[in-house]
Chain A
Amino acid sequence: MRSAVIGLGNLLLRDDGVGIRVIEALKKAGLEGVELIDGGTAVFSIPFEDYDRVILVDAVKLPHKRPGEVVVLTKRQLLSGGERVVWSGHSLDLIDILKLLEFESKLPRELYLIGVVPSSIETGLSLSPEVEKSIPRCIETIKSLLDESAQTQNGT
Chain B
Amino acid sequence: MARIVCDPITRIEGHLRIEAEVDNGKVKDAWSSTQMWRGIEVILKGRDPEDAWFITQRICGVCTTVHAITSVRAVENALDIDIPLNAQLMRNLIIISHAIHDHIVHFYHLSALDWVDVISALEANPRKAAEIAQKISPWPENGYAQFKATQEKLKKFAQSGQLGPFTNGYWGHPAMKLPPEINLIAVTHYLQALEYQRYATQACGLLGGKNPHVQNLTIGGVTYAINLDNEATLNMEKLMKYKFLMEKVASFVNQVYLLDTIAIGSFYPEWLSYGKGVDNYLAVPDLPLDTKGTTFDLPGGVIFNGELDKAHPITSFKDSFFRDNVRECITHSWYEGSWTRHPWDEETVPHYTDFDPKGKYSWSKAPRFYYKEKLYPMQVGPLSQVLMGYALEHKLIKDKVDESLSVLNKLTHRNYSVECLKSTMGRHIARAIRASVLSHLALKHWELLIKNISKGDYEIANKNWSYPQGTIKGVGFHEAPRGTLSHWVVIENGKIKNYQCVVPSTWNSSPRDEMGRRGPYEESLIGNPIADIKRPLEILRTVHSFDPCIACAVHVFDPERREQVKVKVL
Contact = CB atoms under 8 A, between A and B. Distances in A.
Interface string A35-74: 0001111111111000000000011111000000000010
B554 A13 contact: yes
Contacts of B110: 89-90, 92
Contact of B109 (A44, A58, A104, A121): A44
Contacts of A60: 556-559
A9 interface: yes
B557 to A, nearest CB: 5
B174 to A, nearest CB: 15
B428 to A, nearest CB: 13
Contacts of B61: 10, 40-43
Contacts of A115: 557, 559
Contacts of A94: 557
A91 B10 contact: yes
A149 interface: no
Interface in B525-570: 535, 537, 540, 544, 552, 554-565, 567
A145 interface: no
A48 B202 CA distance: 13
Contact of A89 (B60, B169, B554, B558): B169
Given A11-B58, A81-B561, A83-B168, A40 B64 contact: yes
Interface in B176-212: 191, 194, 197-198, 201-202, 210-212
A58 B112 CA distance: 29
A10 B552 contact: yes
A57 to B, nearest CB: 10
Given A44-B197, A90-B10, A95-B561, A103 B157 contact: yes
Interface in B43-67: 43, 55, 58-62, 64
B229 to A, nearest CB: 26
B105 interface: yes
Interface in A87-117: 87-96, 99-100, 102-104, 113, 115
* Contact count band on B: 35 or more
A144 interface: no
A105 to B, nearest CB: 9
B39 interface: yes
* Contact count band on A: 35 or more
A81 B560 contact: yes
Nearest to A117: B556
B199 to A, nearest CB: 11
Nearest to A73: B559
Contacts of B565: 84-87, 91
A44 B105 contact: yes
Contacts of B167: 83, 99
Contacts of A139: none
A33 interface: no
Interface string B139-171: 000000000000001000100000011111110
A8 interface: yes
A100 to B, nearest CB: 4
Interface in A1-30: 8-13, 16
Contacts of A47: 198, 202
A81 B241 CA distance: 38
Contacts of A62: 559
Contact of A12 (B6, B40, B111, B544): B40
Contacts of A136: none
Nearest to B38: A123
A88 B210 CA distance: 30
Contacts of B112: 89
A129 interface: no
B540 A61 contact: no
B560 A104 contact: no
A13 B551 CA distance: 12
Contacts of A39: 212
Nearest to B543: A90
Given A73-B559, A104-B194, A123-B39, A89 B111 contact: yes
Interface string B101-123: 10001000111111000000000
B111 A88 contact: yes
A55 B101 CA distance: 25
Given A82-B561, A90-B111, A104-B191, 8 more contacts: A12-B40, A12-B55, A12-B552, A41-B555, A45-B212, A61-B556, A90-B11, A115-B557
